[in-house]
Amino acid sequence: MLRAKYLNKITEVNKMFIEKIIENGDVVVDATMGNGYDTIYLANLVGETGKVYAFDVQEEAIKSTTKKVQRDGFTDFVSLILDGHQNMDKYINEEVACVMFNLGYLPRAKHHIITKPDTTLEAIEKALKLLKPNGVISIAMYTGHEGGMEERNYVCDFLNNLDQNYYNVLHTNFTNQVNNPPELILVEKKGDFNSLDKYI
């Protein structure tokens, strides 16, 4: 079977954008920790002068990610939080450069524990508030499982109507793939370039 190298997994496509955006020292959020692959990825990007907050509702996610965080010596700047991402504002009192969502269920874990439309949307709204100017939210969405399409439509309805004066929303998908290919949405909070001189 032939394999794509660049446009293969939606999470890899996401990284092409994320790596242009996140800098050493940034504060970022992994809204769906799972097995911690994204948490570790983000920790490597921000480094020890940055900060990663990661959320999941499953204790297994915390356990498996804790091992990886300890293995890589990231415990000082990575916070693993056993709570829903819809409560992120209870734990984060600073502006963030990026919030990453990888929706759906954790492969090989309990498939009934999936992200849900209401809480996902609440989390996205909170993430938009926490974003610093020119900060970005990325959302990888899967529609093949039960409830996945409903969640995707719910998220899209909300984001498609965000005021373009304040946000740019980019939606990418594999247009020639069968069987519910994953989709990626990126949202940038616009910055105020007229006030840039204030910072110089």
Q: Does 10 bind ligand SAM (CB under 6 A)?
A: no
Q: C-alpha angle 86/87/89, rounded to 5°?
A: 115
Residue number, nearest CB to ligand SAM: 34
Query: In whole angstroms, how close is the CB of 31 to ligand SAM at the nearest point?
Result: 6
Q: Does 126 bind ligand SAM (CB under 6 A)?
A: no
Exposed/middle/buried for residue 81 (C-beta within 10 Å: 0-12, 13-18, 19+): buried
The C-alpha torsion from 109 through 115 and 134 to 158, rounded to 10°, is 160
Query: In whole angstroms, how close is the CB of 86 to ligand SAM at the nearest point?
Result: 6
Q: Does 79 bind ligand SAM (CB under 6 A)?
A: no
Using the rule CB under 6 A, which residue among 10, 13, 104, 188 binds ligand SAM?
Answer: 104
Read off φ and ψ for residue 93, nearest 5 degrees. -115, 35
Using the rule CB under 6 A, which residue among 14, 35, 138, 143 binds ligand SAM?
Answer: 35
Q: Does 143 bind ligand SAM (CB under 6 A)?
A: no
